Each structure stands twice: as structure tokens, then as C-alpha cells.
Structure 1
Amino acid sequence: MPESSRPFPKRREFLVALAGLASARNLLAQPSTDKIGKTLPTRKLGRLDQRITQFTLGGFHAWKAPAHQQEALIDRAIELGVRTFDNARDYGDGASEKLYGKYLTPRYRDYIYLTSKSSQKTGKAVREQLENSLRWMKTDHLDLWNIHAITTIQDVDERINAGVLDAFLKARDEGKVRHLGFTGHSSYKTHLHFLKRLHELGIELDTCLMPMSLVDPHYDSFITHVLPELKKRDYGVFAMKTMGFGSFFGNGPQEQQLRELNLSLTNSGISVEDMHHFVYSLPITSLCSGCESISQLEENVKALTSFKSLNQTAQETLLTKTESLYHRALEHYKS
């Protein structure tokens, strides 16, 4: 394996770290129903008095569905029991939020947990994005608003100094958002620095969205380094990039390189269910995945409805397979 792609930490180190979280696991899923039908299993959202569905429909891909299928995609998600919906102001320059405002919130707002994000770098700019998000999604509040896509230690410090965190806290105080979180996929060190700054300021947010997958433990791992810290603080944890933004299928931004390497996890005998079951076996609240078609949505939901928690032996077997396949192109989003 090339030096630049050498996995770190080793599988055993990861599994030892994971074993230390056993007492903090919140894997107990509860069946649920509401006035519009049966929902997917739910888990408690960290320290909050809130349960959400274990599967979250990601907003980034929803607006990419063919226009004539977008309404059907939302209705099918509701029919399958999805009640947690992710979004961000940046997705399609607002196109994804407008889609939710057209097909989701007018009919289903009272039954869903609705999230969005802002990646702007000043307090004034994030507040403007929030007002747009509320207007475009046709709601008077968000259930969760995220400081979006933190990238570097400097980025964290600059956003805090420019009033971003203050603007988020004010929005919660005003009732425009119920809960606050942060997201990022560039570096686990950035997440740890943000948690450190929050602690120094005497502030705790509620949730974190970060990459969690079968290949994450092999290089600069969010699972190994950040997840234990989040559980200490009793955060609600959302997983993303569980299928590598398409790279685990040999697709996505690094498709040409993956093709040259003949690299695809699915072609190596690893299934979508393997990818999802590994992550659902971690102490997370919900797995966020984008779907551009009803068939993709149904495949994602099936992976949850067939879920049985993996024991350490099963986890290690899957990690052994992915360690032998690992290349940085599989996680192009890590910087």
C-alpha cells in the first residue's frame, strides 16, 4: 500500500476505542407511530428530550432528482416512515430548501424533525441565511440548525470571532430554532478544536454531523477520535458519508482515479447493508443519506429495517476487508 494511503489507526486500536463506548451506546431503537402512519425506528437525540428516526433523508441529493419525481420521492419517504429531514442553504443555491418548502412542509411539518445548515462566516450572514431557510422551507422554525462544514482550526476561530456562534445562540433564544449543532468532513482535528473552544466558552451544542463509514477508521478517523468526545458530552450524533459520497461504488468526484485503481467496495463483496449496519452499530442517533431516486431511498430504508447490531468479530471482519482496499480516493472529502 502506498505510504500516502497507509491506514491509521490500526483496526485493533479502533476496536479498543469502540469498546470503551459500550456503556454509552444508545442502540435501543423504538418502534413508533404518528397520525400519518408507522415510522421507522427511533433513537434518542443525545441529552435532548427528543427522539428522531434512525434514518435521515439528506437534502443535498433530493433536489437532483428529476423534477417530475421530486414530489413522489418526498411522499415515499413519509410513507416508508422517514421523519427526519436534512437540508442546507448551500444545496443547489437554495434549490433543496425550496423543494422541501414545496412538497414536504406544507403537508408534513407537524410530523417531521426538520434541519438545515449555514456555512457563512459572519453573524450577519448566517442570520440572513436562516431567514431565507425559514422562508423557502415555509416554516416559522427549524428543529435543528447547524454551523456547517467547518474545515480548519483557523476557520473555527474566525467564525467564532466574527459572531457566528453568537448568532446561532440568539436564534435559539428567539425560538427560531430549537436545537443547535455543527458539521464538517475535512479533519477530525477541526472537530476536536471546536469542541475545545465550546468548552472554554462554557457552551455545549446539541448535535454533530460527521463522516462515519467502514473506511473511516483507517485514516484520520472521526469515529476513533471525535465520537468518544461527543459521547462524553452526550451529543446527538448524525453519521454521513456512509457510502463515501458514491466513492464506495466507484463513483463520485474521484471516479476517474477509482476506475484507474479498479477500486469499488461493492465489487469487492461489501454490500450497502454492510456499510449501513456497521454505522448503525455505533453509538449514533441517525444516519443521513442523500437519495436521488425512489429506488435509492428504498434501498437505504431496507438497510435499516433489516438491521441487527454487529458484534466485535463482525466489525473486525468488515474492517479487515476495507483495510486491504483502502485508498485516500475513497475519502476525497478529508483534507
Structure 2
Amino acid sequence: MERRDFLKTAAAAGVASVATASADAQAGKTSDRAPVQRPEAPGMLYRELGTTGERVSAIGMGGYHLDKDGKIPQADAIRLVRSAIDAGITFMDNCWDYNDGISEVRMGQALKDGYRQKVFLMTKLDARTAKDYDKQLEQSLGRLNTDVIDLVQFHEILRFEDPDRIFADDGAIHAAMAAKAAGKIRYIGFTGHKDPQIHLRMFEIAAQHGFKFDTVQMPVNVFDAHFRSFTNLVIPVAVKAGTGVLAMKTFGDGWLLKTNTFQPAEALHYGLSVPGVSVVITGIDKPEILQQALTAAHDFKPMTEAQRSDLLGRTREVALTGRFEPFKTSNIFDGTAQNPKWLGGSSANPETKPS
């Protein structure tokens, strides 16, 4: 189906979308499409993505860093993405709002010349309403230069009301299900970095609507176990549901490294060792950091309990207050809080009360 036909098809499919989601959940289905077989490289670690049947690299390439602070030339970013794919990284992370869309544009350029077929492509949308979801999805498809995105996740589930808005009568879930039915996306997930209780509420509201998420993305790092722990509270729920776990904030955008309590390889190995984690998504902005991630995958052996205890013991004291996880304790990482219009609907005008 051509992209120009999408909105018409989405509108027709939207009426029955939640009913379809309920039927699929009861049948244990996660996608109407068969898993895609992709080439795998020696030395890279690959894992099943939840119950989707997809095999992806256990290291994912974070899209935000492809233009972080506007300091990376486009040619370097494209070269970096292709080098990662050539080395066996197949999981590509991105978001509609990263660097005003430049991250998606650069990844789309990098995935030309046959590279798109080698990867599992994921992006995130901020929209909470069906109407705004459709708009953002069309923009992401164009930027990424593709007719289908493997996984689209609801981005920044940071507020307790976010699940209610997404599953409302005019909520984004309807557009997501319609897009899946139209063949524009293959899997549906959600992300957030604020509070594990909000993630649990997202699972709860989805279950009330008979919907099962294919993936969930959350902070998983050597500090998380000590403060508002997604690892301890959310991962068991995701695993029980068969939802693939995507780990992020391995280094907390550099905040955790400031404590000098661990080495980068230890942090990557910790994330890869957490039971239930399918992919550790890490920011890669230069060849040295790419090599760091590749080496961690190549050398990986599951941490022993003694190694894990030692690492958590070293980080416990500085982690207890959440000071070095500001994505949990402040709004400096909350793009949708600083740009409420990205959410669409009533959030575009803070003075308008939600219905």
C-alpha cells in the first residue's frame, strides 16, 4: 500500500482497532506479519524480542546521538550507522522528536543502498491522540525513507494520565492499531523514564482494553536497582506478559559515569545480564563508543551473582537518592514536558482542560 493511501485506510480500520487488539491478545498474537530473517554477524549477540519471534542484536543503536547538540556532521553520522550495521547491530532506535527530526532523517539516509533490509527499525511518537499520531507517523515514515517501521512506541509515558489519554475514545492506540492493520508498522510498544509505577499503570490500562504491548523501554542500569527500580518492579510484569524489554539509560547520558563507581564495560554487561532484557540500547556518537559496545557484546558472559553483588554494592550509596538519575527526579530529560504541543490534543494548549 502506498503511503498516500494510508490515512484513508487508517480511518476505516480505526473503528474496529481496539476490538482487533483484544482478539489478538486473547489469541496470543503479537503481529499479523511473520518475523523477518536478518543476517547475523559473528561476534554479535542476538536475542528473541519478547514473544514477537524476531531475533535482534542485543546491542541497540540509540538514535538521539546521531545529532546530539548539533555537533556531528551528517556524513559522520551516516558512516557510523552503517559501520554499526556492518558489525552486526540490527536494532535501530529513534524518535520523531529527536533533534527536531534530524536523527530520523540521518538514519533514513544511512538505511539506503540495501541497509534498511538488514535492520529492525524502531521509532517513537509523542502523540496522545489518534489524529496527531497519524500526522507524526507520516512524518517519521518520510524521514526514515521507508514504507514500514518495524516497531513504533508511545514515547515518554511520564504522567499517570498518559495511559488514559492513549486508550481514550480519540486516543493514539486507535491510530496505532489502524497503522498496523494497514501495514505501516509491525509492532507496538511504549517507553518512559520517570517512575516504574507509571509503567505498571500503562500495563494495567492496556489489559483493561484487552491489549498486549509487544515491547516496553525503560531505564536499566547499575543505579536503577537502588531507586524507583524499573528493573525490580516492571521487568517481571513485562516478562510475564511476553513483552520484550528494551533497556536504556545504561550510562544515564553520562551522569552515572561521573560517580567513578564502575567501568563502561561493566555497565553494559550488567544490562545484558538482567533477566528478561532483549536489547540494551546505548548512545553511540563516535567510532570509539561503537567499538566499546561491540567489544562488550563480543566479550559478554552473564554476570555471576558475586559480580552483580559487588557492582551493586559499589553503586548503592551514591544511587539511593536518585541524584545521578535526573531523568527520574527532574524534568530536564522530559521533552514532552518542555514541549507539550508534541502530545497533541488538549496538551497543545495548556489552558484547555482535558475532557
Secondary structure in 1 aligned to 2:146?
coil
Asked if 1:137 corresponds to 2:144, the answer is: yes
Question: In structure 1, how many angstroms separate the alpha carbons of the residues matched to 2:49 and 2:165?
Answer: 29
Shift of 1:33: 7.6
Q: Do 1:88 and 1:117's aligned partners in 2 also have CA atoms closer than 8 Å?
A: yes
Map of 1:261 onto structure 2: none
Q: Do 2:38 and 2:117's aligned partners in 1 also have CA atoms closer than 8 Å?
A: no
Question: In structure 2, how many angstroms separate the alpha carbons of the residues matched to 1:38 and 1:130?
Answer: 34
Report the residue type matching 1:245 in the other structure. Answer: D
Map of 2:126 onto structure 1: 119
Asked if 1:146 corresponds to 2:138, the answer is: no
Question: In structure 1, how many angstroms separate the alpha carbons of the residues matched to 2:318 and 2:300?
Answer: 24
Shift of 1:249: 2.2
Shift of 1:331: 0.5
Asked if 1:237 corresponds to 2:230, the answer is: no
> Normalising by the residue count of structure 1, what TM-score does the alignment of the two structures yield?
0.82
Map of 1:15 onto structure 2: none
**Structure 2 spans left out of the alignment, 5+ residues:** 1-36, 330-355
Map of 1:304 onto structure 2: 297
Q: Do 2:219 and 2:250's aligned partners in 1 also have CA atoms closer than 8 Å?
A: yes
Question: In structure 1, how many angstroms separate the alpha carbons of the residues matched to 2:55 and 2:253?
Answer: 26
Shift of 1:112: 0.7
Question: Structure 1 residues 200 and 33, CA, compared in 2 at 3 Å: closer, same or farther?
Answer: closer
> Normalising by the residue count of structure 2, what TM-score does the alignment of the two structures yield?
0.78
Give the alignment of 1:9-158 within 5 angstroms: 34=39, 38=42, 40-64=44-68, 65-158=72-165
Q: Higher mean Cα deviation, 230-239 or 104-113? A: 104-113
Question: In structure 2, how many angstroms separate the alpha carbons of the residues matched to 1:43 and 1:146?
Answer: 19
1:161-204 C-alpha deviation (Å, 9 max, x unpaired) = 24111111111111100111100001101100010011111110
Secondary structure in 1 aligned to 2:95?
coil
Question: In structure 1, how many angstroms separate the alpha carbons of the residues matched to 2:63 and 2:327?
Answer: 18
Map of 1:224 onto structure 2: 232
1:256-305 C-alpha deviation (Å, 9 max, x unpaired) = xxxxxxxx2xx33x111111111111121010011111111111221111
Map of 1:279 onto structure 2: 271
CA RMSD, aligned part only? 1.6
Shift of 1:75: 2.1
Question: In structure 2, how many angstroms separate the alpha carbons of the residues matched to 1:103 and 1:225?
Answer: 37
Q: Do 2:167 and 2:206's aligned partners in 1 also have CA atoms closer than 8 Å?
A: no
Q: Higher mean Cα deviation, 208-217 or 60-69? A: 60-69
Question: In structure 2, how many angstroms separate the alpha carbons of the residues matched to 1:33 and 1:273?
Answer: 27
Give the alignment of 1:174-185 within 5 angstroms: 174-185=182-193
Q: Do 1:33 and 1:39's aligned partners in 2 also have CA atoms closer than 8 Å?
A: no
Q: Higher mean Cα deviation, 290-299 or 188-197? A: 290-299
Report the residue type matching 1:206 in the other structure. Answer: D
1:315-335 C-alpha deviation (Å, 9 max, x unpaired) = 111111000222422100014
Question: In structure 2, how many angstroms separate the alpha carbons of the residues matched to 1:334 and 1:227?
Answer: 17
Question: Structure 1 residues 136 and 167, CA, compared in 2 at 3 Å: closer, same or farther?
Answer: same
Question: Structure 1 residues 33 and 91, CA, compared in 2 at 3 Å: closer, same or farther?
Answer: closer
1:210-244 C-alpha deviation (Å, 9 max, x unpaired) = 00000001111000100000010011111000111
Q: Do 1:185 and 1:334's aligned partners in 2 also have CA atoms closer than 8 Å?
A: yes
Q: Do 1:39 and 1:83's aligned partners in 2 also have CA atoms closer than 8 Å?
A: no
Shift of 1:39: 6.9
Report the residue type matching 2:196 in the other structure. Answer: Y
Question: In structure 1, how many angstroms separate the alpha carbons of the residues matched to 2:113 and 2:82?
Answer: 12
Shift of 1:121: 2.1
Secondary structure in 2 aligned to 1:138?
coil
Question: Structure 1 residues 39 and 303, CA, compared in 2 at 3 Å: closer, same or farther?
Answer: closer
> Relative contact order (C-alpha < 8 Å, sep 6+): which is higher?
1
Question: In structure 1, how many angstroms separate the alpha carbons of the residues matched to 2:61 and 2:202?
Answer: 26
Secondary structure in 2 aligned to 1:220?
coil
Shift of 1:311: 1.8
**Which of 316, 325, 333 pairs up with 1:331?**
325
Question: Structure 1 residues 39 and 119, CA, compared in 2 at 3 Å: closer, same or farther?
Answer: farther
Paired residue total: 287
Q: Do 2:123 and 2:149's aligned partners in 1 also have CA atoms closer than 8 Å?
A: yes
Question: In structure 2, how many angstroms separate the alpha carbons of the residues matched to 1:38 and 1:309?
Answer: 18
Map of 2:11 onto structure 1: none
1:104-138 C-alpha deviation (Å, 9 max, x unpaired) = 24430111100111012211111111111111111
Report the residue type matching 2:39 in the other structure. Answer: D
**Which of 173, 187, 192 pairs up with 2:181?**
173
Question: In structure 1, how many angstroms separate the alpha carbons of the residues matched to 2:63 and 2:113?
Answer: 17
Question: Structure 1 residues 105 and 116, CA, compared in 2 at 3 Å: closer, same or farther?
Answer: farther
Q: Do 2:156 and 2:193's aligned partners in 1 also have CA atoms closer than 8 Å?
A: yes
Asked if 1:186 corresponds to 2:179, the answer is: no
